[in-house]
Amino acid sequence: MTDPSSRPSSCDADILARQVGVTGAFNPADAESERRSADIPAEWPAPHSPTPVDAQVNLPGSKSLTNRYLVLAALAGTESRLRRPLRSRDTLLMAEALRSLGARIDDLSCDDGESADWLITPGPLRGNAHIDCGLAGTIMRFLPPVAALADGPVRFDGDAQAHGRPMGPGLRALLDLGVPVEGDRLPFTIGGTGRVGGGQVVLDASSSSQFVSGLLLAGACFDDGLTVVHEGPSLPSAPHISMTVEVLRDAGVDVDDSTPHRWRVEPTEIHALDVQVEPDLSNAAAFLAAAMVTGGRIEVPGWPRHTTQAGDAVREIFTAMGGQVDLGRDSLVVTGPERPLGVDLDLHDVGELTPVVAAVAALAQTPSTLRGIAHLRGHETDRLAALAAEIGALGGQVDVLHDGLRITPRPLHGARLRTYADHRMVMAGAVLGLAVPGVTLDDVATVAKTLPDFPQRWTEMVGRRYQDAGDRAGQDPDVRRPSLAVPGSGQEL
């Protein structure tokens, strides 16, 4: 994968003639094959580290930014270049979906061993297409407004588990704009007519901020632009909307977000982009958590000093949990405490960090309360119920609240953990496995959604070769870090 430092990519401008969907390495049509392309075993013994980890971890680009850039590039007036984009199941499916709608996406050759850049050439949006969303909210919620601009119907479907994800607010918004829609969740069909009048639409986006982002990304292509108004309970994941607004402005789109819960996008031609994708800070959270639960030190190069990524909140969160967090010119360093502190946090805006934060909290000195995350019930799985069940399987105590979790540290033991086809549950399980020997994850391959080579990166961080990590992870069950003892219990975590 790519090194996310701040220097420009040295990939040259020669096209390799590897158009999206033509080469097997770039075609995610067979979703199951794509998910398991890294040849990862179905069950994965999570590496255990009885000593502090100390590593530098280079991470590839942000999924959230990559998929937003891809959409805007496909709608732009001329070709765009994405430098060091993330290649994961979600981004490859997005690229394939945009190709099916008429865009051309080519790899550019690299002479430095880096992952290739992408060259995106927009084309007329065509209908009679089928889009596989996988389990990606960014596809199922960003692309229906784009499909409305196509010249014919576009069918959306995805993984069976995706059929339960909320879609109603976004689809009803399109209906209100005069777009033909069949269905209220996956599978559904958008009846593209080649144009959308635009105007104003009011929706309740309390289940996902992606409904707002999806409308805004396409709104500049509507005849009269678009005004989006949120009316309803508190809007989650606000940083993701800020990210959408920022990338739109980078592409020359006039966006007015001066009024809370109201966004106005003026009709205009979207400018081409030439951007380097920031490293994925939400993926980085799991690696930084390794320092927190082992008393170690992790450095992530390329951490941006300004970013709209929700994952940047991990700096404040891990500081509150007792870590030493240092942001330098070129990297972020987290040094873990002897044992993490319990916290009371409102994670409403950064809900995607909840699984990793919950894993650290399960290993803390004192109880933690994670609030403002009722919307996680509608993510890849019901993350609140999943975290309670799986931390409970290790012997922990997690109480599900109406809008969050109450985590009370208890002595933990090894167990086989379910991941629920949820990449964040994989990362949470890996964090727990560092401190608790004998943890096995039932479907680590699902992490390909955002970081296909996560197991290799994780075991390299711990200091083991990926090939024999499984043999070593379950050994020495009596080894414990003394700092993880539950005070007064006479037992150890």
**Residues annotated in a binding site for phosphoenolpyruvate:** 63, 137, 165, 210, 383, 424, 449
Point out the annotated binding site for 3-phosphoshikimate.
63-64, 68, 208-210, 237, 352, 379
Give CA torsion, residues 293, 297, 301, 304, to 10 deg: 60
Burial label for 140, CB within 10 Å (0-12, 13-18, 19+), is: buried
Point out the annotated binding site.
63-64, 68, 137, 165, 208-210, 237, 352, 379, 383, 424, 449
Catalytic residue, chosen from 278, 352, 380, 390, is 352
Question: Distance between CA 120 and CA 270 in Å, rounded?
Answer: 13
DSSP state of 415: -
Question: Distance between CA 168 and CA 205 in Å, rounded?
Answer: 10
Strands 344-346 and 80-83: unpaired
Mark 105-128 as b/e (b = at least 16 C-beta within 10 Å).
Answer: bbbbebeeeebbbbbbbbeebbbe
Whether 316 is catalytic is no
Is 38 in a helix, a strand, or coil?
A: coil
Q: Which two tokens stand for residue 69?
A: 């850039």
Q: Under a CB-based contact definition with an 8 Å cutoff, are residues 449 and 90 in contact?
A: yes
Question: Distance between CA 33 and CA 126 in Å, rounded?
Answer: 27
Q: Under a CB-based contact definition with an 8 Å cutoff, are residues 341 and 381 in contact?
A: no
State the sign of the Cα–Cα–Cα–Cα dihedral 62, 65, 68, 72. Answer: negative
Residue 341: name the closest of 151, 487, 149 by CA: 487
Whole-angstrom Cα Rg for the chain: 22
Going along 204-330, which residue ranges are E strands?
A: 226-230, 255-256, 262-265, 274-276, 297-301, 324-327
Report the catalytic residues.
Answer: 352
